[in-house]
Amino acid sequence: LSGGVGVDRVPGLGHSGGGSTLLGYIGIDTIIEQMRKKTMKAGFDFNIMIVGYSGLGKSTLVNTLFKSQVSRWSSGWGGEHKIPKTVEIKAVSHVIEEGGVKMKLTVIDTPGFGDQINNENCWDPISKYINEQYEKFLKEEVNIARKKRIPDTRVHCCLYFISPTGHSLRQLDIEFMKHLSRVVNIIPVIAKSDTMTPDEKNEFKHRVRKELETYGIEYYPQNEFDDDMEDKNENDKIREAMPFAVVGSDKEYQVNGKRVLGRKTAWGVVEVENPNHCEFALLRDFLIRSHLQDLKEVTHNIHYETYRARRLNDNGGLHPISANNTQESNL
């Protein structure tokens, strides 16, 4: 054999020929189609958490993102609801299907965040929930009788809503993101951006970005996890455009003969999906169309891995779990 260790490009890949007659088509490239079929059959989980002061349009935005009532606390659903005494964690799941691909979407709402008189440590229940999902996954993983596919309830992404004050971040914004960015992918967004003029919006975005940097808050996509130069260039552009200034709505308006989702303001209708009006479409493309898989991978390879390593260390290494005790692990 001539070649040593290394990547030998197989000439004639994809039947197009032109290369050596000795090395014909093997069929390695069909793995992609095989993977696609498996994924289509299995479907996948995506879990998104929404955090921010009440009334910032969290439920509305998630419903706008997934074009359905995936968050039941939206304004249209029974109007005012009582402010809970502590931060509550409410997870609601839906199966969404598009083009034959099934996604089990879970929206984790956190009503009561920032509503208390004393908001100190109000992220505790949130961080507890996130860790509990890691723990659940870990327990399944170390079981002798492992499930073929472990149900994934881990939070893949936390959308953090910033009030469109035009001033600066609040203390709670900073504290929350600082604490949680170490355990989950945080994506900060500026809520209700239709309440600001374009100049105010740009100025505010700039200021928030500066503050996040000053406080050392690492949001998603984190610099350190860029895979290669291509990844870095793409993510640099996204980081420079963040936090996205978004608008959510469940109302349609007639604009130039087309029905579009929007909000009526003194200046006219702000179209949710029009990139000249707000950055909703940017956020949607980033979150769903380009980075959904990466959000899941960073959750698994970085955040969960950190949890797992710490947990197994504390436990003095991985103890085998006896066969008659496969349901409840000792962890």
CA 43 to chain centroid: 17
Name which of 111 and 221 has its Cβ closer to Mg ion: 111
User: Any contact of residue 11 with ligand GDP (CB under 6 A)?
Assistant: no
Residues in 166-205 that interact with ligand GDP by CB under 6 A: 192, 194-195
Residue 263 binding: pick among Mg ion, ligand GDP, none (C-beta 5-8 Å cut-off by kind): ligand GDP
- The one among 263, 284, 291, 308 contacting ligand GDP by CB under 6 A: 263
Q: Which residues here bind Mg ion, judged by CB under 5 A?
A: 58-59, 73
H or E element that contains 9: none
280: nearest Cα among 57, 121, 29, 95? 57
Q: How far apart are CA 140 and CA 328, in angstroms?
A: 9
Both tokens of residue 260?
Answer: 């579009």
User: Any contact of residue 55 with ligand GDP (CB under 6 A)?
Assistant: yes
Q: Residue 202 phi/psi, 5° resolution?
A: -65, -40
Give least dist CB 154 to ligand GDP, A: 23
Name which of 92 and 241 has its Cβ closer to Mg ion: 92
Name which of 192 and 291 has its Cβ closer to ligand GDP: 192
Site size for ligand GDP, by CB under 6 A? Answer: 16
> What character string, x for contact with ligand GDP (CB under 6 A) and - otherwise, covers 65-84?
--------xxx---------
- CB 243 within 8 Å of CB 205: yes
With left for phi above 0 and alpha for psi between -120 and 50, is residue 17 left, alpha or beta? left
- The one among 46, 57, 177, 186 contacting ligand GDP by CB under 6 A: 57
Half-sphere exposure of residue 200, counting CA atoms within 13 Å on the CB side? Answer: 12
Q: For residues 113, 119, 121 and 126, what is the CA-based torsion angle, rounded to 10 degrees?
A: 0
Binding site for ligand GDP (CB under 6 A): 54-60, 73-75, 192, 194-195, 247-248, 263
